[in-house]
Chain A
Amino acid sequence: MEVLIKDKIKQVLKGNQNAYSYIVEEYKDKVFYLCYRMIGNRHEAEDLAQEAFLKAYVNIKSFNLNMKFSTWIYRIATNLCIDRIRKKKPDYYLDAEIAGTDGLNMYSQLASDTESPENEVESMEMQETIQNEILKLPEKYRSVIILKYIEDLSLKEISDPLDLPVGTVKTRIHRGREALRLQLRHL
């Protein structure tokens, strides 16, 4: 499949704009899911996914053909989401990291079981809860967890689009998973 995508990219580089629709079709779901979990809102996620594909197209000349296209588009989409999250940030919020700590935030200072567990939740409500809990993760943990569990990437494959050493990715996944465990254990 990678070969087919590379071939389409070469066609786009030659000026065949229509070849790009094949690439969009191939990656739209993955990119949309990534944006959806990063941003937590369907419409915004679609906007961001669209923006990511547009940005990839405009910069297609700088794409290195030895690289996987997925790595590249995930990097673009993740960065767009992080930019959006930073612009939306309220003055004070619970997942702000406490200065001088690595990954500790106001949430970790709260008792993790303040919400009473409900066994019978409607799936939409449940989804909302899950999304809210994911949004509480600091973005540096959120992005690695999303790349790992939505895009099924290995640690090495996550380290490429985020420009992070594999060791850092590993630590962030462990901490992110730990935080999610505490937040979602009662569901």
Chain B
Amino acid sequence: MTCPEEIVEYMHDYLDEEISSDSERILKGHLQSCEDCRNYLYELKKAVSYVKVPASITVSSDFTERVMASLPQEAKKKGKLKGWMMGHPVVSAAALFLVLISGAMLTSWNQGEDFSVTRQSNLIVENHTVIVPEGKTVKGDILVRNGDIKIEGRVQGDVTVINGDRYLASAGSVTGDIKEIDQAFEWLWYKIKTSAKEVSSYITTNSFQ
């Protein structure tokens, strides 16, 4: 073949649809006069036409379903939290318990706007102020809610004031603890402590029986 070397290069450029118009003119002119090169280009075109997959070869009809079935399930929406909870059942249960309990307790905190006081003998109540009169003794714990307490006498037990102030006169005395609770969180903590005490005393009582 005594053809110019670049003719084959032009053929490839032509097949890639990247040939310049000048080169294309040269290629076409040459092909008209050269049977070998016409055959060469035909062989190239034929070869690549075989690369196409014939229509008789197709992908299985259930291909998409199989792909979808193979996808990881935890990637689904909300799947992450669910998966985590399944992996940590005890923690999840405890967390759920705490959420419900604190919800209930905070509700009782918000609802408890009314003044209330533990019923004990010798207590005087005046305009939301509880008075332990001078020279008198109250036997037992006192819980005052949404009110103040003035202690002029003696209390044999704990005094707890929720949403209020306590005044302890110099003559007054309390044998147990005195506590003021002002914050919701403290109230919650107080409730939890009390419940825990009750539970532990219940367990202790039962185990000794």
Contact = CB atoms under 8 A, between A and B. Distances in A.
Interface string A107-118: 000000000000
Contacts of B68: 17-18, 20-21, 24
Interface residues of A, number: 46
A121 interface: no
A180 B44 CA distance: 8
Interface of B: 9, 12, 15-18, 40, 43-44, 46-48, 50-54, 56-60, 63-64, 66-68, 70-72, 75-79
Given A49-B59, A180-B51, A181-B44, A54 B71 contact: yes
Interface of A: 14-18, 20-21, 24-25, 28-29, 32-33, 36-37, 42, 46, 49-50, 53-54, 57-58, 123, 127, 130, 133-134, 145-146, 148-150, 154-155, 170, 173-174, 177-178, 180-181, 183-185, 187
A177 B15 CA distance: 10
A33 B53 contact: yes
What 4 pairs between A and B have smallest CB-CB spacing?
A: A15-B77, A180-B47, A149-B51, A32-B59
Contacts of B71: 17, 20, 54, 57
A37 B53 contact: yes
B53 A173 contact: no
Given A15-B77, A28-B63, A184 B46 contact: yes
Nearest to B41: A181
A50 B54 contact: no
B165 to A, nearest CB: 54
Nearest to B75: A17
A170 to B, nearest CB: 7
